[in-house]
Structure 1
């Protein structure tokens, strides 16, 4: 796998049983790249490990006053240098490739899961955690997956060097081996505390990120009610908590670094002390002493890799757990395959068994709930988005459960526009370039959504030829537009898609009554013969609906025309006209 081959054609199905299993799955998915990194790493570190031997031969050649041995040793050092340079270059290339490809695979998996879950994702996982997983956690996971191969190379070469020293000079070799083991074991007991502090820092950082995103999203409202400083103070306090937790975590890692400096230093002192004594007694040659000292010095390099891998695992383990929590979320189904073999497009009446709502094919149906939360849950069910943990039955389209058909089929058949739709940054042309049937022109959708003033405003800010509004750029989440303008552009985008069933949740709540009346006319005209569901309590929309369904407490209470329900149902009248219920209930029960 090369970087130029990204993105992956198929990122695969991850093992989400645990964070550690997920890391192992990532490692297996790029086993070929890891094997290459391991081989290049062994060659690189073995070349470095040969330098002490070459230095020992050089010293011994000088002691022996042998020009021939000195020349041969010089050629050996040249070969070692060339080998080390080549191996280091290729190891770096392969390690970076492994890091990037692992991170890209995780990002693709997260993007695929977010696409499958849609708006349900943020209902199950906090927005701050999603941001944390898709940014910093992805890099930490890639770092660990990449470091495993270099760790493996360090283990192989370190054991080989220790074994060679024991064979070459048993007394000093055993001393070096015991010292290496002591260095490794000295920082292992500190890792659990470092993990706990790192987890605490990440948790506080995630909460601060979520608070920041919420504050930015609601900044306009906060300024309107004078609550900007209150939320900024909350974010400042959260930031200080993150800073304090980061300092505590850094102190522990500083202690581990200090141990990694002190312990190898003590090892080198012990080797020099013992070796000097042996050399003075004539039990070891000068060249051999230089070789042993150089080998002990080299072993500090793989020991640093051991620490780096331990740090990478410490940081990646909670990151992998968070990634697994997101990747483990599935679109809930009824557990059968009754609709899996559905051939062709779905069609027919749309019904919700939980509430009793029935949307007849080809009609404009208005649903009045009174409670926004009830309307939101009902709109999600009608769109085939199950409510997590509620155990509610799926909506049926033409008698087929929506949660038992392929996700792409369900979303092509039923489109749900939230009451707070999101506009992505980019040009207006890009915003409206959505999958569609092709039967609804962009101009017709914009006209039906009454976007004339929006187009005029965008044409003035457009950098395109002759002020083309389609080339005007829309900022992130449409923040440069008013609430009504954002709402109408989102409605135009939904109309362009031309789904079999279009579900609109309060599509005109941010526009004035005159614009709302024109939108109602355009909606009726453009969606003629197609099923449309509008959640609203606006008389202007209700009066243009073919059928109105009143769902006050999650169950259908009345069905009929708007004027008919106004005169016959006091509960409906109270919701639509904002008037208190009176003795009209007596008329209903009489």
Structure 2
């Protein structure tokens, strides 16, 4: 996809050129038929009515009926082809945007809230795709204009020349008038996207806002944002109204000039009555194509503004560049950091043996977040290396890496669907394809499963043995995460719907379901970040034992300050001020290191 707004529009039109060409051909036929109607009416006046010839009248009326049928067919199916091209182009842009946002290399969402990206993928994609319909309409209107001008030339050369000389001037003025609209339309879409982003953030955090009594502040913030968006929309609407009004006035004046010239010619006897009727009818017909050009200019202006915003997302550089080396086969799970500097981390050295469970207690949450980003390769360290089985992560593709390392973030999202679908979202079949019962997934830039296309239910039942094994794995993961209690508490068990973002569940239930999903994915290396902060102490102890038993022999890194989780680790390190300042079993660090004791027991 192109890296500029012009290239985005070019690709949108090129990808639908057959539909645009077909629609344009039918639209040209429609406009040509519309232009021929006043010509035929003039012929009827001269050949039949003026002579009182009934037979000629019937013949020409039949010809007029055929023209009406042809132009009606052309309009119906031409508009259908144009709308289809516009919708398909918009869909292709949406797919390209979603693919870019979900690219394992990341980087597309930097500085943009989810609501803004949604606005770009919906409204901006629609406006850019609509350029296909506008282009088809422009070609059709141009054909009608040319046919009308030729017809006028046959009636009178001065009339035809008037039209041919005035039309380019009107088109040029319309293009100049569309420039302010383009700039204001871009600002309108930018403010609308920002308002959508703020609204999405407020809705997602509604429970928190109510809990701290910040509803009034949230409403005030959205009101200000909404007013800014409204002001930008009004400015764009005023610019569009001004353009339409001025172009309509110019067009009306132009048509009046054509009618005046035709009337003078008829008064002088240079043209017949029927030709005068045709000339006036053609002058009125020309109003339609010229108004279409005004609309086309507005559509192109808005399409260019939207295409520029789409191009910014598509051309955003990736956060990490894919490497060319394959994953080690098999993946043993040894992780090593050497001299890693990133964020608050300073020359960090860390070794995790294959199959070990390592606890990492960070005194600063920002340091924990930086470590997680490096381990999941959401970002590459400023200096130093992170290795998996001796292979630097920089040399691996992020998509391949996340089949070996799963970083389960503290704030992992759940998706609209069943409890079963959410837990099995990270499972993979023998070919390495992700699947999840009634939902299949790919992994986003953060290693979080993202729903994709549905898979047939028959596929799950194709191999009964495999289905039983998968059910057993699911049960073990649910039990280890204490999510089996969540399933028992819901009316339909695993088939219960959890709602968007799992809002029908409590915070502790959501956390356990997300943990069960991470455990069910069964990656060689699993990194868990504070997976039990919203559960009670008894449940936390059960989860700690479940993680220990389920992950025995597979590399697990627990980034947490939970004593229950750190107690199951083979080894614990203290991350303080960006460096490892302590390394020992949990009990020894509790006894000997006051900083560790403060971080864990405070």
Q: TM class by shorter-chain length?
A: 0.7 to 0.9
Which residue does 1:514 correspond to in 2?
A: 538
The answer to whether the 8 A contact 1:333-1:404 is kept is no
Is residue 378 from structure 1 mapped to residue 363 from structure 2 by the alignment?
no
- Equivalent residues, number: 552
Which residue does 1:288 correspond to in 2?
A: 275
Which residue does 1:441 correspond to in 2?
A: 473
Match of 1:478 among 502, 508, 524: 502
Is residue 453 from structure 1 mapped to residue 482 from structure 2 by the alignment?
no
Structure 1 residues 309 and 345: alpha-carbon distance in aligned structure 2, compared to 1, 3 A threshold: farther
The answer to whether the 8 A contact 2:35-2:147 is kept is no
Between stretches 221-230 and 254-263, larger displacement belongs to 254-263
Is residue 365 from structure 1 mapped to residue 358 from structure 2 by the alignment?
yes
Is residue 137 from structure 1 mapped to residue 124 from structure 2 by the alignment?
yes
Which residue does 2:336 correspond to in 1?
A: 351
Partner Cα distance (2:330, 2:291) in 1? 60
Which residue does 2:408 correspond to in 1?
A: 417
Is residue 32 from structure 1 mapped to residue 18 from structure 2 by the alignment?
yes
Q: Secondary structure at the match of 1:433?
A: helix
Partner Cα distance (1:167, 1:332) in 2? 65
Structure 1 residues 200 and 331: alpha-carbon distance in aligned structure 2, compared to 1, 3 A threshold: closer
The answer to whether the 8 A contact 1:368-1:548 is kept is yes
Q: Secondary structure at the match of 2:402?
A: helix
Partner Cα distance (1:521, 1:567) in 2? 22
Summarize the alignment of residues 192-341 of structure 1 with structure 2, pairs less than 5 Å apart. Answer: 192-333=179-320, 337=324, 339=325, 341=326
More strand by share: 2
Partner Cα distance (2:207, 2:52) in 1? 84
- Alpha-carbon RMSD across the aligned residues, in angstroms, is 2.3
Between stretches 553-562 and 283-292, larger displacement belongs to 553-562
Q: Secondary structure at the match of 2:519?
A: helix
Shift of 1:453: 3.4
The answer to whether the 8 A contact 2:526-2:556 is kept is yes
Structure 1 residues 70 and 218: alpha-carbon distance in aligned structure 2, compared to 1, 3 A threshold: same
TM-score, L = length of structure 2: 0.86
Match of 1:42 among 28, 38, 57: 28
Match of 1:408 among 376, 396, 399: 399
Between stretches 253-262 and 102-111, larger displacement belongs to 253-262
Q: Could you report, residue by residue, the CA deviation over 1:162-196 in whole angstroms, capped at 9, with x for unpaired residues? A: 24433541111122233433433443332222223
The answer to whether the 8 A contact 2:424-2:474 is kept is no
Q: Could you report, residue by residue, the CA deviation over 1:85-119 in whole angstroms, capped at 9, with x for unpaired residues? A: 22112212211210121111112112222222487
Is residue 523 from structure 1 mapped to residue 554 from structure 2 by the alignment?
no
Partner Cα distance (2:483, 2:186) in 1? 49
Shift of 1:269: 2.2
Which residue does 2:440 correspond to in 1?
A: none
Shift of 1:394: 5.7
Between stretches 565-574 and 523-532, larger displacement belongs to 565-574
Partner Cα distance (1:511, 1:335) in 2? 38
Partner Cα distance (2:321, 2:126) in 1? 36
Is residue 18 from structure 1 mapped to residue 4 from structure 2 by the alignment?
yes
Which residue does 1:181 correspond to in 2?
A: 168
TM-score, L = length of structure 1: 0.88
Partner Cα distance (1:49, 1:330) in 2? 51
Partner Cα distance (1:223, 1:482) in 2? 15
Structure 1 residues 350 and 83: alpha-carbon distance in aligned structure 2, compared to 1, 3 A threshold: same
Q: Secondary structure at the match of 1:556?
A: strand
Partner Cα distance (1:391, 1:85) in 2? 65
Gaps of 5+ in 1: 1-13, 460-467, 579-590
Structure 1 residues 532 and 386: alpha-carbon distance in aligned structure 2, compared to 1, 3 A threshold: same
Between stretches 552-561 and 284-293, larger displacement belongs to 552-561
Q: Secondary structure at the match of 1:534?
A: strand
Q: Secondary structure at the match of 1:116?
A: coil
Between stretches 171-180 and 375-384, larger displacement belongs to 171-180
Q: Secondary structure at the match of 1:426?
A: coil
Partner Cα distance (1:557, 1:511) in 2? 29
Structure 1 residues 43 and 293: alpha-carbon distance in aligned structure 2, compared to 1, 3 A threshold: same
Q: Secondary structure at the match of 2:424?
A: coil
Summarize the alignment of residues 57-136 of structure 1 with structure 2, pairs less than 5 Å apart. Answer: 57-61=43-47, 62-117=49-104, 121-136=108-123
Shift of 1:318: 2.4
Shift of 1:417: 1.1
Q: Could you report, residue by residue, the CA deviation over 1:258-310 in whole angstroms, capped at 9, with x for unpaired residues? A: 22332222223222222222111111111112222222222222222222222
The answer to whether the 8 A contact 1:370-1:552 is kept is yes
Q: Secondary structure at the match of 1:73?
A: helix
Q: Secondary structure at the match of 1:283?
A: coil
Q: Secondary structure at the match of 1:215?
A: helix
Partner Cα distance (1:222, 1:119) in 2? 29
Structure 1 residues 186 and 457: alpha-carbon distance in aligned structure 2, compared to 1, 3 A threshold: same
Which residue does 1:8 correspond to in 2?
A: none
Structure 1 residues 127 and 469: alpha-carbon distance in aligned structure 2, compared to 1, 3 A threshold: same
Shift of 1:135: 1.8
Shift of 1:336: 5.2
Q: Could you report, residue by residue, the CA deviation over 1:415-470 in whole angstroms, capped at 9, with x for unpaired residues? A: 111111101011112222324256662111111111243223212xxxxxxxx311
Gaps of 5+ in 2: 341-347, 429-468
Match of 2:387 among 396, 416, 421: 396
Structure 1 residues 261 and 123: alpha-carbon distance in aligned structure 2, compared to 1, 3 A threshold: closer
The answer to whether the 8 A contact 1:445-1:492 is kept is yes
Shift of 1:69: 3.3
Partner Cα distance (1:44, 1:393) in 2? 67
Partner Cα distance (1:422, 1:172) in 2? 68
The answer to whether the 8 A contact 1:113-1:327 is kept is yes
Q: Could you report, residue by residue, the CA deviation over 1:42-101 in whole angstroms, capped at 9, with x for unpaired residues? A: 112112121121111111121233334323322221221121122112212211210121
Match of 1:431 among 419, 422, 436: 422
Shift of 1:527: 0.8
Shift of 1:345: 5.1
The answer to whether the 8 A contact 1:268-1:296 is kept is yes
The answer to whether the 8 A contact 2:409-2:529 is kept is yes
